[in-house]
């Protein structure tokens, strides 16, 4: 048992005395009385506010998400906005998903903003995260907040902060907000008005249906072949995984003529407990179990699954035997890029000097595709805000139309520059259009994927996560990453490391020649090892969850060989880390 510091016990007592507005918190605090480990876990640190905002377990304490940590964070954000934009009619947009207490947390944020003289625009019902980015830009807000924990298990919630450009907050802005949060007392430090009082005064306003309709209009404009879906007879099974996608995804599919949509009934309505899906993540096959079961009877051309805040989408398609095959985010991203390039060039709608953007951990086959079609591929750090940032650079130069597509391997896609975040609504639409188009020329998505690999090579990607829970886990994460930066391996699974990119030191070194060049990206705790067989291993700590993530890429003439090689590298690299 770890020793309980007096400061943690003092905080525990302080919360027992002051956290009285939410009976759930007092009940929880009383339930852990005398349990030093449980108290320590709730109070040994604060939730860390970074470029992803806050994310944590819902509950009592400084290391939990609750109305007090939400208020304190929002006070810090309000102080930042008022200082950055003095004397202006400042406004902030707010959205929330289906998670436990998301609606409560969003209203608490609105109360604090109004209490600081900042107008709060808030959606009247749960909405996808990309619609927060849309609201920020459309309503000319100085910042945005969305209460979501994306695809995490139900015990988590989060608070993501956005800048005036509709991107997640920059590192510099987040650091400023963090300083202001730290200067705010947990109890009594936030200025508040009543929610109804804020509505009556106009300092809190519900976002109108016009804004929602305009968003769907912009999504629909991203079509390449507007006529193809209605003529295709495409049949779809869809699951919103008890999240926010149900209304907007079905609305956009109806608009483009995909009318044969069957929704997984158990996962149709919002439910933050995710009763049929403990891990509501379209990357995980288990999350799609009910959808895949429904496919056996409905026999659709496509299964779509969006995560709870509807910024990511996964798919499955039937093979010749009627079994449904899952596609990875890398595969869908690369296929969409190829489809967009090929068809826009054919139609004469491709802009001059087109630009695509992806994260450094996403598939390198996309670089080959981009080069083949004369598209500039920009590789950025993990986090869709960095893709949004590139769109912003193009927009500032009056060249936003050059951006054609961006994606991350974690099932996030964006066609169009109307928002600055990954968007599963446009992703779902573009996937359906791609499937309908290929169907119209007698090609299945499996055929199209095989043709892509035949043309560009068999790239196989594997992602592995090493969970590090609690205080001890966080320390272990820091130790592992620190050791790798200072003593990087010279070989992995028997293959020599021939190049090392250290994104924290911002150096990319050819270990054969000794030549080193700088990395023109912000510092980030990421390492990339290139092996002498052209395989790569990338490792980084997650920015939103207590885990380290490793990304493996292998390339071979025969796909099975690439798969086997990837398994070998992953197994031995994992063992070298002590997992």
Q: How far apart are the first and last CA of the chain?
A: 23
Strand 235-239 relative to strand 260-263: parallel, antiparallel, unpaired? parallel
Tokens of 366: 């996309």
- Is the Cβ–Cβ distance between 365 and 458 less than 8 Å? no
- What whole-number distance in Å separates Cα of residue 506 and Cα of residue 490? 19
Query: Measuring CA to CA, how many Å separate 141 from each of 104, 120, 384, 409?
Result: 21, 9, 20, 30
In 3D space, the residue among 205, 203, 45 whose CA is nearest the CA of residue 122 turns out to be: 205
The answer to whether 509 touches 543, Cβ cutoff 8 Å, is no
Catalytic residue of the set 150, 154, 359, 362: 150
Question: Tokens 């953007």 correspond to what residue?
Answer: 357
CA gap 125, 307 in Å, rounded: 17
How does 253-267 read in b/e, with b if 16+ C-beta sit within 10 Å?
bebbbbeebbbbeeb
**Residues forming a β-bridge with 246:** none
Residue whose structure tokens are 């990511």: 312
Tell me the C-alpha distance between 322 and 389, whole Å. 42
How would DSSP label each residue in 295-331?
A: HHHH--SEEEEE-TTSS-EEEEEE-TTS-EEEE-HHH
Q: Is 150 a catalytic residue?
A: yes
Q: Are 432 and 422 in contact (CB under 8 A)?
A: no
> What are the φ/ψ torsions at residue 129 (nearest 5 degrees)?
-55, -45
Cα angle 12, 35, 63; round to 5:
45
Pick the closest to residue 445 from 234, 261, 222, 245 (CA basis).
234
Q: What one-character DSSP code corresponds to residue 442?
A: T
Q: What is the C-alpha to C-alpha distance for residues 325 and 9, in angstroms, rounded to an integer?
A: 52
Residues 6+ apart with CB under 8 A from 319: 325, 446
CB 136 within 8 A of CB 166: yes
Q: Which of 375, 380, 378 is nearest to 354 (CA)?
A: 375
CB 241 within 8 A of CB 267: yes
> What span, in angstroms and rounded, lies between the C-alpha atoms of 261 and 289?
18
**Residues designated catalytic:** 150
């Amino acid at each position: 048992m770890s020793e309980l510091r007096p400061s943690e016990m003092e905080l525990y007592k302080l919360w027992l005395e002051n956290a009285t507005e939410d009976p759930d918190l007092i009940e929880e605090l009383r339930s852990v009385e005398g349990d030093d480990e449980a108290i320590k876990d709730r109070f040994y640190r604060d939730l860390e506010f970074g470029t992803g905002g806050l994310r944590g377990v819902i509950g009592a304490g400084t290391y939990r998400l609750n109305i007090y940590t939400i208020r304190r964070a929002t006070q810090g954000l309000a102080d930042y906005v008022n200082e950055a934009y003095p004397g202006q009619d400042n406004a902030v947009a707010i959205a929330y998903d289906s998670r436990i207490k998301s609606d409560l947390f969003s209203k608490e944020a609105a109360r604090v903003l109004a209490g600081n003289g900042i107008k709060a625009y808030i959606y009247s019902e749960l909405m996808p995260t990309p619609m927060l980015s849309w609201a920020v830009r459309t309503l000319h807000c100085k910042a945005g907040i969305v209460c979501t924990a994306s695809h995490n298990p139900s015990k988590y919630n989060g608070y993501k902060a956005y800048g005036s450009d509709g991107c997640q907050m920059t590192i510099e802005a987040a650091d400023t907000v963090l300083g202001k949060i730290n200067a705010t007392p947990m109890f009594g430090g936030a200025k508040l008005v009543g929610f109804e009082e804020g509505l009556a005064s106009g300092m809190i306003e519900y976002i109108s249906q016009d804004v929602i309709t305009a968003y769907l209009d912009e999504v629909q404009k991203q079509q390449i072949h507007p006529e193809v879906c209605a003529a295709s007879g495409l049949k779809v099974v869809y699951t919103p995984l008890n999240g926010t996608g149900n209304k907007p995804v079905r609305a956009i599919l109806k608009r483009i003529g995909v009318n044969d949509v069957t929704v997984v009934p158990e996962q149709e309505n919002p439910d933050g407990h995710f009763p049929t899906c403990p891990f509501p993540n379209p990357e995980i096959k288990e999350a799609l179990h009910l959808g895949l079961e429904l496919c056996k009877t409905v026999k659709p051309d496509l299964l779509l699954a969006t995560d709870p805040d509807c910024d990511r989408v996964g798919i499955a398609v039937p093979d010749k035997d009627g079994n449904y095959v899952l596609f990875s985010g890398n595969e869908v991203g690369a296929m969409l890029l190829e489809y967009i390039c090929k068809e826009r060039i054919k139609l004469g709608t491709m802009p001059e000097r087109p630009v695509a953007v992806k994260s450094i951990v996403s598939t390198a086959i996309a670089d080959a595709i981009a080069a083949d079609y004369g598209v500039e591929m920009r590789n950025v750090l993990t986090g869709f805000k960095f893709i949004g940032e590139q769109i912003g650079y193009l927009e500032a130069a009056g060249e936003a139309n050059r951006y054609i597509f961006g994606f991350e391997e974690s099932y996030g896609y964006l066609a169009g520059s109307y928002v600055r975040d990954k968007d599963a609504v446009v992703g779902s639409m573009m996937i359906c259009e791609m499937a309908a188009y290929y169907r119209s020329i007698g090609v299945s998505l499996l055929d199209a994927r095989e043709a892509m690999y035949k043309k560009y090579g068999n790239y196989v990607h594997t992602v592995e996560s090493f969970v590090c829970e609690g205080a001890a886990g966080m320390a272990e994460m820091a130790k592992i990453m620190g050791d790798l930066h200072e003593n990087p391996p010279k070989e992995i699974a028997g293959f020599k490391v021939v190049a090392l990119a250290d994104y924290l030191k911002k150096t990319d070194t050819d270990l054969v020649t000794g030549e080193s060049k700088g990395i023109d990206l912000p510092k980030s705790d990421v390492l990339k090892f290139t092996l002498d067989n052209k395989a790569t291993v990338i490792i980084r700590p997650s920015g939103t969850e207590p885990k380290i993530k490793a990304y493996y890429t292998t390339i071979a003439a025969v796909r099975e060989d690439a798969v086997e090689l990837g398994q070998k590298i992953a197994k031995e690299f994992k063992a070298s880390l002590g997992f």
